[in-house]
Structure 1
Amino acid sequence: MRNYSHSDLFLLFFSRAGIQKICSHTNKQAGKRRAKGSKARPWNAVGKEQFCVFLALVLYMGLVRLPALADYWSEDPFFGAPFCGQLMSRNAFLGVLWNLRLSDPEADEENERKRGTPDYDPLWKLQPFLNDLQTSCKAQYHPNQNLSLDERTVAAKASIGPNQSPGDEPAKWGYKLFVLADSLSGYSWNFEVYAGKRRQASGKGLSYDIATSLMDRSLGSGYRLYCGSFFTSPVLFRDLLSKETGACGTIRECRRGYPATKPNGLDRKSPRGTVKWLRQEEVLFLKWRDVSLCTTFHKAQDGRRVRRKIKSRDGTGRHASPPAPIQDYNRCTRGGDQSDQLLDRCSVPRETNRWYKTLFFQFVNIATANSFILHREICEQFGQQPDTQKMFLRALVFELAGELYPLQTTSLASPYAMQHLPEPLARADATARRSKATRGRQSCVYCRRTEGKQIKTPWQCRSCDVPLCAIVDRNCFSKWHRRFLPSQTHACV
């Protein structure tokens, strides 16, 4: 049986110390605004529990989408969502959203006074939280050999902050992220927010600096990096190879270092399946049809064949095989696509006019996607059936809501909740008055597993058949079912 909950995995990326810092900065920002006379919304100091409920509502809004934010608290049964009103009032939610701050407001003012100087940090309002999340993502997962480096755009229309038009991306305007992901699982191992010209540039180009920065030294050697034409350059690939890291990616023929060999080149009249390749020491340049590729660990042909039927002039057809580097590139760049799919399926849909809040919600998506990948791999390791992403997020919302959401008061709770009721343990031969209170008691399963304590209880769950505390100051019955029941009906074994 699993000895972790969905919220345990999520809090690996949102640590309790990090949440406490966000709460402190948010309360300071609210006090600063109220001192200036802003009383648009009532405010009560937010703590860790209230902020976890705020995150639960944010994730819930990614699962259940309504046209407007106010519709989640609407009294109209057509749009209303009773779940939100039972967790937090609309004014309390909007108060946290309005005052949300990821950095110290006083430090923000000091950084703002440095604008126009080399010491100014354009990402300062996001940097403390960004550093913690990057450290957590790298610490909680060891990637496989193949890595994928790609660009990702966070859609936003605000004309402030590090906003730009990415051109080819599906989102035509937004903030750009550079993400290093595991090609097999899609886990986002490292990422960086584009903020314009780098303060410590190497002089070899932006793509070179980003790639070398994301390939952190703590990653080690022996990896194989797959990337797009924005990052691929012979200079980068040779430097990575000197660090015992192979690289493969599509390349623009106008790149510096690309061999300018026009004789015997490919044109539109070349037969389909024709391959041209050239090796310069350890770097292989290859062109197949209209694709140009550069690699440092492949052979031009290694004997692998993939059947591709090509229509011939006589109408009979023939078969061609793409080069091995092309096959591996198409297979291993799916990691970035898989990561994008995980983020888009249940992404937080909130739009704000503060750029750091928009990126914060994107980081919430990254944390939930990474925690789901950890859950899936742990289940596969122990031969268990993992939850779907939707059910994983549903259980995570219940667990983050914690004690503030009564499990059995509404039909929105777990459909199995009414089957799990407390009942007294069997008390055989408990006829004497003195023995009725103590005879038949057993150790609470929840206390033993979470705290390592042997606490006796006279109560058990009717369906789960496990002893659980059910008193006012130690309601293990409710905690047990909130922790395990939403995701697995057979978890209480």
Structure 2
Amino acid sequence: MLTDENLDSGPSCSKQIEEVSHTEGGEDLTIPAEQSTSTTNVLSRTSSTDTCHNIRVPSPETTTVLLSDTDSSDDEENTWKKVLFPQKPDLDSFDSIPLQSRQFFPSRTRPVSYFSTFFNEDVIELIITQTNIYAEQNRSRNWTPVNSVEIKAFIGMIIMMGINPLPSIDLYWSSDPFFRNNEIAAVMPIKRFTKILENLHLNDNKEMPSREAPDYDKLYKIRPFLELINKACQNNAKNTTSQSIDEAMVKFKGVSSLKQYMPMKPVKRGYKIWTRADSATGYVFEFDVYTGKRDDNTTEVGLGGNVIKRLTKKLVDERFQGHVTFDNFFSSYEIMQHLYDKGIYATATVISRKDLPHFYKKSNKGKNLKLDRGEMKWRTKKNVAFVAWQDNKIISFLTTAFHPKLDKTFCDRKQKDGTKKAFQCPLAVLQYTERMGGVDRFDHLRSTYEVSRRSKKWWLRLFYFCVDLCIVNSFLLYTTNKRVHNPLSQLHFRLSLARGLINGYTSRKRSLESEPQYLKKKPKMSTNIQKKIGVDEDIRLSNVGIHRHEKIETWRRCRMCSTKTNNKRSKIQCSTCKVALCVVPCFDLFHSSD
């Protein structure tokens, strides 16, 4: 039993003030009067409504098991003690600022306007300049410099391709109507699209430092682009008071020193991107591509605290007051205390770190703790609390926001007979579950209609990631805009965005209606091989009665009998197949299977 005699007196408990006795789970806990009010508020607030993720206050009909923390037999420790927090955070303030845009958007603002705040004119100008420079440096054949309108149309096309994915790009221009997408094919010919994709570039290769140079950057080819997107993400939305930090994976199986192997992740091979996002919506405020070894000959593996410091630096500069959640890869006592000293509350899981309570380290990371389900052991050190709670297995947390003894709730667990039983658990468990999923929410929205495609260029996957990031962030600002009634789904938002970027642009010299249904050059064949017609047989041979003669203005080569050595031309074409044919005998031969 935990009483006044084995509860060490901390700095906040040494004041000569009136004490109020609370009873929890059969044991008395002595709490200073100045903290008793806030404790009662926390417990009453937790009990007022049911909570999500199977964690809630039990109803009278639910079997309830109240279990106390069984730590009265633990050895005394010099640094980690059973004392109350000196701080008293206002838990309601962690949800006081939801996601909201820094700019004013009227109710009828089109999706392209939201997207343009992220993919702004600076980004477009960077792509135009560097793409034209790269094409000139490589002396790309038949190259025509790109402009702003064409680049926006190009981005719109790849967004449409993400909505309607096909195995290869050329199928969007296929003569087979099953694959062909007229809305994409009408923007530009496939040769122009692939030419832009071939020369797409984001930084000048001639100015790239050598690998031996002290200022060498592994991300040089895409660094200016990443900085512009990062800046736009931070400038377009106000910081929310609840954020999470986690890693996002970008799939890539090619050759790159940046590629990571994560066998336990859904995306096992690819680029690792540290991400800070809003806990509730998944809006990404800041991201950082993991590059492995750094200039000081150390790696970020095992040094997750450095990642937390980098991603929270701007929050510290803005005097951010809120809560940040992250997992055991980043957590340690030092980083938790560092964030608290900077005014940021935090909660994180923890598994194996040096500076943890002695009872946890000597029990093989909690595996040898003999606790019943719902029991816990806890300690505090300065402003950081450690708690090991027994669920199906031991789960350990570090927190500066939720005291494990004062802030408690209940969680339902299904039994073997199908009934549910409520077990006591620290409030930190509930709050971690609710606030940790920000990056996962972003990943879910990104992967639904992602624009990414296979490429031999290692940086192109990161470019596609940034395009998806801008779409998701603009979609979240759109859906959280209270002026918008009946908002679009992400599917229709992306489609409207793509059409807005294309905006009726076409680089074709003639319309699709006057174009034949073949776009590829005929392959070279020997004379003893039957000539390929170029029109699918399902169209050419079905409903022959609807195939009629149609006069055209210019002479075109007969699709049936014209060859390199015998050029035959006609002013008659089939009204359905849209190919030129001699009236006799080619027209009948073309539409027969013999």
Q: Which has the larger radius of gyration?
A: 2
Counterpart for residue 207 of structure 1:
304
Aligned to 2:116: 11
Task: Work out the percentage of aligned pairs sharing the same amino acid.
Answer: 28
Q: 1:317 to 1:85 in 2, by over 3 A?
A: closer
Q: How does 1:147-158 map to 2 (within 5 A)?
A: 147-158=243-254
Match of 2:153 among 53, 60, 63: 53
Correspondent of 2:431 among 319, 328, 342: 328
Structure 2 match to 1:245: 344
Displacement of 1:202 in angstroms is 9.3
Output the amino acid matched with 1:299. H
Distance 1:200 1:209, change over 3 A: farther
- Specify whether residues 201 and 131 from structure 1 end up closer, same or farther in structure 2 by C-alpha distance, changes over 3 A only: farther
Contact 1:266 1:276 survives alignment (8 Å): no
- How many corresponding residue pairs? 396
Q: What displacement does 1:352 show? A: 0.9
CA distance in structure 2 between the partners assigned to 1:219 and 1:71 by the alignment: 50
Structure 1 residue 388: Cα displacement:
0.6
Residues 342-361 of structure 1 aligned to structure 2 (within 5 Å): 342-361=445-464
Q: What TM-score do you get using the length of structure 1 for normalisation? A: 0.75
1:393 matched to 2:474? The reply is no
Matched with 2:357 is 259
Alignment-mate amino acid for residue 251 of structure 1: V
Q: Does 1:64 align with 2:161?
A: no
Q: What is the CA–CA distance in structure 1 between the aligned matches of 2:147 and 2:441, rounded to whole Å?
A: 35
Partner of 2:313: 216
Residues 452 and 461 in structure 2, CA contact (< 8 A), matched pair in contact too: no
Pairing of 1:301-380 with structure 2 (within 5 A): 301-302=405-406, 304-309=408-413, 311=415, 318-378=421-481
Q: How do 1:29-428 and structure 2 match up within 5 A?
A: 29-34=134-139, 39=141, 42-108=142-208, 111=209, 113=210, 115-199=211-295, 206-217=303-314, 218-253=317-352, 255-262=353-360, 267=368, 270-289=371-390, 290-302=394-406, 304-309=408-413, 311=415, 318-378=421-481, 381-382=482-483, 384-404=485-505
> How many Å separate the matches in 1 of 2:323 and 2:382?
18
Does structure 1 conserve the Cα–Cα contact (< 8 Å) formed by 2:126 and 2:225?
A: no
Q: Deviations over 1:141-161 (max 9, x none)?
A: 113211110011100101124
Offset, 1:201? 8.3
Q: Deviations over 1:68-119 (max 9, x none)?
A: 11111111111111111101111111111111111123223xx1x2x03332
Go from structure 1 to structure 2 and tell me whether the alpha carbon gap of 1:161 and 1:59 turns closer, same or farther (over 3 Å shift). farther
Deviations 1:369-423 (A, max 9, x none): 0000111111xx22622111011101001100013169xx99xxxxxxxxxxxxx
Question: Which residue type is aligned with residue 74 of structure 1?
Answer: S
- Relative to structure 1, the CA distance from residue 323 to residue 46 in structure 2 (aligned partners, 3 Å threshold; closer, same or farther) is same
Q: Note the alpha carbon deviations across 1:419-455, whole angstroms, 9 max, x for none.
A: xxxxxxxxxxxxxxxxxxxxxxxxxxxxxxxxxxxxx
Report the equivalent of 1:23: 128
Distance 2:345 2:216 in 1: 36
Distance 1:256 1:233 in 2: 8
User: Cα distance 1:401–1:246, how it changes in 2: closer, same or farther (>3 A)?
Assistant: same
Question: 1:312, 1:318 within 8 Å by CA — same for their partners in 2?
Answer: no
Cα deviation for residue 268 of structure 1 reads 7.0
CA–CA separation in structure 1 for the residues paired with 2:484 and 2:258: 45
Partner SS state of residue 23, structure 1: helix
Paired residue secondary structure (2:221): coil
- Partner secondary structure for residue 359 of structure 2: coil
Q: Unaligned regions of 5+ residues in structure 1, if any?
A: 411-493
Tell me the distance in 2 between the aligned counterparts of 1:365 and 1:245: 30
Normalising by structure 2, we get a TM-score of 0.63
Question: Is the contact made by 1:156 and 1:358 (CA closer than 8 Å) also made in structure 2?
Answer: yes
Deviations 1:30-73 (A, max 9, x none): 11111xxx54xx32111111000110011001100111111111
Unaligned residue ranges in structure 2 (runs of 5+)? 1-105, 513-594
- Aligned to 1:150, the other structure's residue is in SS state strand
Structure 1 or 2: more helix by fraction = 1
* 8 A Cα contact 1:202 1:209, kept in partner: no
Residue type of the alignment partner of 2:355: G
Counterpart residue identity of residue 271, structure 1: D
- Structure 1 residue 303: Cα displacement: 5.3
Secondary structure of 1:328's counterpart equals helix
If asked which structure has higher relative contact order (CA below 8 Å, sep 6+), I would say: 2
Q: How far is the alpha carbon of 1:222 from its aligned partner? A: 1.0
